[in-house]
Amino acid sequence: MRKDKNNACDGARETATVQKRKKRFGDIFDTGYLRSVIIGAAGSVILLGLVYYVCWHITGGFKGGVELVTAVNSSAEERLETVGYMFRDETVLYSDYGGAVNYAFADGERAAAGDMLLTTYRDPGSASITEALKSIDKRIEILKESAVEGKVSVSYTKALENSIDVALRAMGKSLAEGRYGSAVSQSEDLLVLLNKKDLIFSSSETYGSVLAALEAERASLASGLTGESKRMYAPYAGYFYSYCDGNEGLYTVNALNELTPSALDDLKNAADNAGGSGSTAVGKIARSRKWYLVVETEKSSLKDHSVGKLAEVVFSDCGDVALKMLLERTVEEGERALLVYSSEELPEGMDMMRRFNISIKIREYSGLRVPVSAIRYVDGREGVYCLFGNTVLFRVIDVVGTVDGYAYVSENCDPVMTTVEEVNKDGERVQREVVLYGALGLYDRIITAGTGMYHGLIID
């Protein structure tokens, strides 16, 4: 009886101990929270595994994501970005007076022999009047260019609107690229266009009253130029310019005739001693409109330039003025070379500078545009991988030129053919040609990124 009682007591104590341990475990851990964490972790593992499985199939086992670009028709120019130096025979006009200058001719205007070109004044205090006169002359010139004559058609107004849009974009591009000289020149062209638009759509027919006021203001300023003065006349018939750079005596046609790359170096480093002490250059006159542009390049690039042919030269410092210039000759010296261009064209918006930043059009390419990074070689043939549905196929290309990371491809490239053997309906074994790799076509989707590609690959 006692033994049973003892056993009962021992059982009660053991039960109490287990319950005590359970109570302590529950106090330490929130079993409900722990259960939710374990379930969440297991779900995350399953989800990650599913994502991994999907990505593995889409990318072909993580061989690289597929990026596509459409083959479209495009064109691009290959240009030589460089500098050019002007050579021309010019006679500089010097004055002992360092005050104001009142010009009778505009830049680039032709004068006859003996015409009065300008008047210089001794008084240094009147020098500021010269700049004011130049400013008024520019405004008068812009207003005269803004004139609209006759009836205006609808097509004219549409063309004018388009020209304004082009001018705005060109000026914005020049400002963004830091070419402020070009932007100033382009702003003047834009002002002329805006004035024309104002005349067309406003009740005013002309800027006559404004022009008359400016001319009166100019006359008043000019009348304020008093004191000792000196008039200067054209020594011969030619083209007048008010700007002098001091190098007119160096960059001459005679110097050009004996010019080499090393001689050009000497010219660029030479000091200008023209004019002498006490004299001021106030203008210059050129007998002929013809002038020369000398460009230095490498001997190896001469194959890109054809003597006797016209080339398009763009002057970025002068509002991107484009001129057709004749390549008269080339000069070689070691690995260096010179290109000697000539022209008789001098647009009004073109500044008479000695050194120009220019670009010369070498050639133009047209065709299907393909990123160079997408080009691959299969069986010795150049081409690209394209995606048709979910199938990767190799397409051969014939590159005609490359500009700025893009290849321009002929649309008439021949496909790669191969010979296959088959049995005809008579049971005879015959051979016939079939297309192995087709040619790239318009609007084909070119694969630009992704490794492990091959002809016939299926992308799930």
Provide the residue ranges of all domains of the chain, joining segments of one domain with +: 2-58, 59-88+291-460, 91-290
Residue 191 has pLDDT above 60, yes or no: yes
- Please determine, for residue 158, whether its predicted confidence score (pLDDT) is greater than 60: yes
pLDDT at 143: 65
pLDDT band at 59 (very low <50, low <70, confident <90, very high): very low
Burial class (CB in 10 A: 0-12, 13-18, 19+), 339: buried
Q: Which of 147-161, 162-176, 407-421 has the highest mean pLDDT?
A: 407-421
Q: What is the pTM of this model?
A: 0.62
Which of the pair, 319 or 27, is modelled with greater confidence?
319
Q: Tell me how many degrees the CA angle 180-137-216 measures, rounded to the nearest 5.
A: 145
pLDDT band of 5, cuts 50, 70, 90: very low
Q: For the chain, what is the mean pLDDT?
A: 79
Higher-scoring residue by pLDDT: 368, 29: 368
Lowest mean pLDDT among 51-55, 181-185, 348-352, 423-427: 51-55
* pLDDT greater at residue 406 or residue 60: 406
Give the per-residue pLDDT at 270: 83
| pLDDT tens for each residue of 207-254 | 666 667 777 777 776 666 666 678 899 999 999 998 888 888 899 999
Q: Which residue has the higher pLDDT, 458 or 197?
A: 458
- CA pair distance 338, 318, nearest whole angstrom: 23
Residue 29 has pLDDT above 70, yes or no: no
Q: What angle do CA 274, 246, 350 make, to 5 degrees?
A: 150
Q: State the Cα–Cα distance between residues 336 and 340, nearest whole angstrom.
A: 14
Distance CA 405, CA 376 (A): 15
pLDDT digits (tens, 9 = 90+) for 314-348: 998 777 889 999 999 999 999 999 999 999 988 76
pLDDT of residue 47: 61
Statement: residue 378 has pLDDT above 70: yes
The C-alpha angle 455, 459, 460, rounded to 5 degrees, equals: 150
Q: Which residue has the higher pLDDT, 199 or 403?
A: 403
pLDDT at 163 over 60: yes
How much is the pLDDT for 432? 85
| Number of other residues whose CB lies within 10 A of the CB of residue 178 | 8
Task: State the pLDDT confidence band at 3, using cuts at 50, 70 and 90.
Answer: very low
Contact between residue 199 and residue 205 where contact means Cβ atoms under 8 Å apart:
yes
Please list, in sequence order, all residues whose beta carbon lies within 8 angstroms of the beta carbon of residue 383, skipping any fewer than 6 positions away.
375, 376, 377, 394, 395, 396, 397, 437, 440
Q: Using the predicted structure, report yes or no on whether residue 8 has a pLDDT greater than 50.
A: no
What pLDDT does 166 receive? 74
The share of the chain scoring above pLDDT 90, in percent, equals 40
Per-residue pLDDT band at 107 (split at 50, 70, 90): confident
DSSP-derived secondary structure for 183-245: HHHHHHHHHHHHHHHHHHHSS----HHHHHHHHHHHHHHHHT--SSEEEEE-SSSEEEES---
Confirm if 338 and 261 have CB atoms less than 8 A apart. yes
**69 — pLDDT class (breaks 50, 70, 90):** very high
Pick from 76-80, 140-144, 293-297, 330-334: least confident: 140-144
The Cα–Cα gap between 291 and 10 comes to: 123
Positive or negative, the CA dihedral 256, 91, 128, 318 is negative
Task: Check pLDDT > 50 for residue 152.
Answer: no
Single-letter amino acid, residue 437:
Y
Burial of residue 279 (CB within 10 Å: 0-12, 13-18, 19+) is middle
33 pLDDT band, cuts 50/70/90, is low
Residue range 59-88+291-460 forms a domain whose CATH class is mainly beta
At residue 320, the pLDDT reads 81
* Mean pLDDT, residues 157-162 taken together: 67
